[in-house]
Structure 1
Amino acid sequence: MEKKMIALGFEGSANKIGVGVVTLDGTILSNPRHTYITPPGQGFLPRETAQHHLQHVLPLVKSALKEAQITSDDIDCLCYTKGPGMGAPLQVSAIVVRVLSLLWKKPIVAVNHCVAHIEMGRIVTGAVDPVVLYVSGGNTQVIAYSEGRYRIFGETIDIAVGNCLDRFARVLTLSNDPSPGYNIEQLAKKGEKFIDLPYVVKGMDVSFSGILSYIEATAEEKLKNNECSPADLCYSLQETLFAMLVEITERAMAHCDSKDVLIVGGVGCNERLQEMMRVMCSERGGRLFATDDRYCIDNGAMIAYTGLLAYAHGSTTPLEESTFTQRFRTDEVHAIWREEQESGDSSGLADVGK
């Protein structure tokens, strides 16, 4: 019986540190993670977040190996998030993967965080060639694959949609446990009154910073005068932001002649966003693919799987190049595994995720 290729992956680009063990067919053997949660009204700073990751990364490695029932000898490659993300937290994974590479004599594969979200979404849902809406605390992009790369059709020109939601959660001093966006979503379900907010779509791009400033000022005035509730504000903010995202996604679908949409990234867990996108897709005769919080929120398995795809096609990262960067665009990555799937010469890999 042929041995399955196995990768160990590290994700630590923001406030979550995750370690995952995955095989090439997408089987997730283990995927533990730990989240740095700050007090209500506060965000997470790079230095404190990095200290959190340092504290938890080695226990997570032990936990991941134990749950997967493997040892270091069974691992074919070590994968880590090169970027994009916050510098200090990214550095933790980069250092750990270098040390383990030298200790265990295993090759390294640097992974783009955004591409990892997409590949994890594809393997988990079975989506083959969808238009991708990538929405998280640090990124907002509409993406589609073409000729070896994931092309960005539209994106935020300032802050990410998740950052907008998180920062408004701070204004309302909502809890950061399990996440500010989740708590906004729950509060929004109780909203009854819709408050008009700026709607900012510029071609294929969106802008959220002006909406945030507007709703912050509105909240201060209207909550003081009891003209609306925090639930009304959360409801209005979600409806406005998500309508903008549905619009640019639909336009990308028309351009690419695609009927399927895959939502990835932390905000992709939001059930209201999924509902709005599902209605749009069904009206176009298409399907929506989405995952739950196990896979849409940052995790080590998505890094392990994407790195293993690259490794299986001969791609590794020399030790001296195993650096990290806060800016690493989705379309900079040569997705060699997709090229081979498209051509049909994939040595069985074309069936991955179907």
Structure 2
Amino acid sequence: MAHLLLHARFLPRDTARHHRKHILAVLKESLQEANLQPSDIDCIAFTKGPGMGAPLAAVAVVARTLAQLWNRPMVAVNHCVGHIEMGRLVTGAGNPTVLYVSGGNTQVISYLERRYRIFGETIDIAVGNCLDRFARVLKISNDPSPGYNIEQMAKRGKKLLELPYTVKGMDVSFSGILSYIEDATPTMLAAGECTAEDLCFSLQETVFAMLVEVTERAMAHCSSQEVMIVGGVACESHIAPSSFTRDVGKCIIVHINMIPLYPSSTFSGKSIHTPPKYSYFDAI
């Protein structure tokens, strides 16, 4: 994956090749850490979609093979619902309003009347995709992730630039702000109007403010006191409890289901890591 990290992008064929190369080692390690034998497994769960076709197909083949080898039923899992349910298990959240933010998805979701309902979403590209593509403009490394490296640079930013802010009801749009900052970056840097750190700071502040606005609106609609943030972008500590400022007369509980990309992840002042029993199902 070194060439993928260098160029800050994930190509479906390369990602599928990576999955095929490492999946058996991941399965073996997960079973060992969870102290489980194949006979202890009730079913084989796998991500059916949405996502990139090639990696999904690669994992589905492994899941189907294991199901036949171990004589266990297969359970197809929706990518988004998997994030939410694992987040509820790990964080202990009750029935929160969910902000699902990743490289391919941006949605505000709540569970009502025995089904998940999408209250708002991006009308074009996902927030993670916006950050990833801007990272390419600045030639920021993808190791461990573009969003994480943008966040670190943003901490050194001192100037907040005015960028397009697009919220339409419960929906958001990131293509406009991305196009604007992609076009403006070379000129602004060459003229000395700002630094790369200022650009990262401004982009991060603007897109996260948009997300907080629509999430708080959904919370008000559902009379919710809890919000849970899931997905790869949830790893960025900038989306913190202090970001939610809606005056509801009660404390807003913010659950952040952080993927352990980094040595330690902070959740409500505590270090949280995904337990092995979740890692096994997440791996397949």
Are residues 1:134 and 2:111 paired? Answer: no
- State the alpha-carbon separation in 1 of the partners of residues 184 and 250 from structure 2: 36
C-alpha distance in structure 2 between counterparts of 1:280 and 1:274, whole Å:
14
- Superposition TM-score, scaled by structure 2 size: 0.89
How far apart in 2 are the matches of 1:121 and 1:216? 34
Report the identity percentage. 58
Equivalence for 1:209? 175
| Code of the aligned partner of 1:228 | C
SS at match of 2:221: helix
Give 1:41 shift. Answer: 3.5
Give the Cα separation in 2 of the matches to 1:188 and 1:230.
Answer: 9
Find 1:304's aligned residue among 275, 281, 284.
281
User: What SS is found at the alignment partner of 1:151?
Assistant: strand
Tell me which of the two structures has the higher relative contact order, counting C-alpha pairs closer than 8 angstroms and 6 or more residues apart.
1
Tell me the amino acid that sits aligned with residue 50 of structure 1.
Answer: A
Instruction: Determine the C-alpha separation between the residues in 1 that align with 2:104 and 2:87.
Output: 18
Q: 1:275 to 1:195 in 2, by over 3 A?
A: farther
Instruction: Name the CA distance, whole Å, in 1 between partners of 2:242 and 2:158.
Output: 18
Shift of 1:302: 6.8
What is the one-letter code of the residue matched to 1:304? F
1-structure distance, mates of 2:218, 2:259: 25
SS in 2 for 1:81: strand
Pair 1:104 & 2:70 matched? yes
Query: Is the 1:121–1:291 contact (alpha carbons within 8 Å) kept by the matching residues of 2?
Result: yes
Shift of residue 301 of structure 1?
2.6
Single out whichever of 61-70 and 197-206 deviates more from structure 2. 61-70
Find the aligned partners of 1:88 and 1:207 in 2 and give their Cα distance: 27
Equivalent runs, 1:10-89 vs 2, <5 Å:
38-89=4-55
Structure 1 residue runs of 5 or longer lacking an equivalent are: 1-34, 308-354
1:278 shift after superposition: 4.0
Taking the TM superposition and a 5 Å limit, the aligned residue runs for 1:170-249 are 170-249=136-215
User: Could you tell me whether the CA contact under 8 Å between 1:268 and 1:274 is conserved in 2?
Assistant: no
For residue 151 of structure 1, the aligned residue among 117, 129, 145 is 117
1:61 and 1:84 map into 2 onto residues whose CA distance is 22
What is the DSSP-based 3-state SS (H/G/I as helix, E as strand, rest coil) of the residue aligned with 1:158? coil
User: Compared with structure 1, are the counterparts of its residues 300 and 210 closer, same or farther at alpha carbon in structure 2 (3 Å cutoff)?
Assistant: farther
Say if 2:240 is the partner of 1:263.
no
Contact 1:133–1:143 under 8 Å retained in 2: yes
Answer whether contact 1:117 1:302 (CA < 8 A) is retained.
Answer: no
The unaligned stretches of length 5 or more in structure 2 are 266-272
How many pairs were matched up? 272
Give the secondary-structure state (helix, strand or coil) at the position aligned to 2:125. coil
